[in-house]
Amino acid sequence: MSQRIITKTSVILAALVVLSASAIRAQDSCQSFRAIMPMSFDINTGWAGPVYAVMGAEVLIGKSSGDVPPQTACDAAACQDIAGRSHIDFGGSSIFNPGGDTLTIELQTAQYTLPDGFGAYHAMWKIVGGTGRFVQASGVGFESGPFVAWMDAKNLPKGQYIGEIAADICGVKPEKSPQAASSEKPLTSIPPSAFSYYLRQFSPSVRK
């Protein structure tokens, strides 16, 4: 009798473990997030520019801008930044989603070479906030890319940066409808040769 009770209890506990694990996976479902960011630096706005991302099976297009400047320490060859905050705005603002779909990220650490006109940037950040689809988002991202910096004719600093992001983002809400503004899909089934053909056919600079 006691053996039957133990067996039944073990089965129930095993079922609860499976159900709990399934619930955790559903709640914390994560997906790959890859992006490129061609950004410009201006003394008034800091680093800002468009963001072109592939998240799971969709393409997101938005813009990135800084909110809190980082704390910077430099030696003779390189600099290190920490604690800066920025956000990525993917739009989606509506009467039901007034804040739009945004991500707030906080810099954990970044290192970059002091440029003699050309430099390299490497950083790690984490998601610390969001709105809309990203209100419950979490994750860590790695970012890197080259930049060019110079002083303009008015002796003001300028810069151009091409960043690449690789991250895993968890807790993102699904699109509300296939007609959503972010419903572009990656070119996963079009070979590069066909993509080049489309570019040649529809680019005004090469159209015959």
pLDDT above 70 for 159? yes
- Would you place residue 202 in the very low, low, confident or very high pLDDT band (cuts 50, 70, 90)? low
Instruction: Give Cα separations from 123 to 109, 112, 141, 145, 180 (angstroms).
Output: 6, 9, 8, 9, 32
What pLDDT score does 185 carry?
59
- Would you place residue 191 in the very low, low, confident or very high pLDDT band (cuts 50, 70, 90)? low
Q: Pick from 94-98, 126-130, 204-208 the range whose average pLDDT is largest.
A: 126-130
pLDDT above 90 for 44? no
> 117: Cβ–Cβ under 8 A, 6 or more apart, which residues?
148, 149, 150
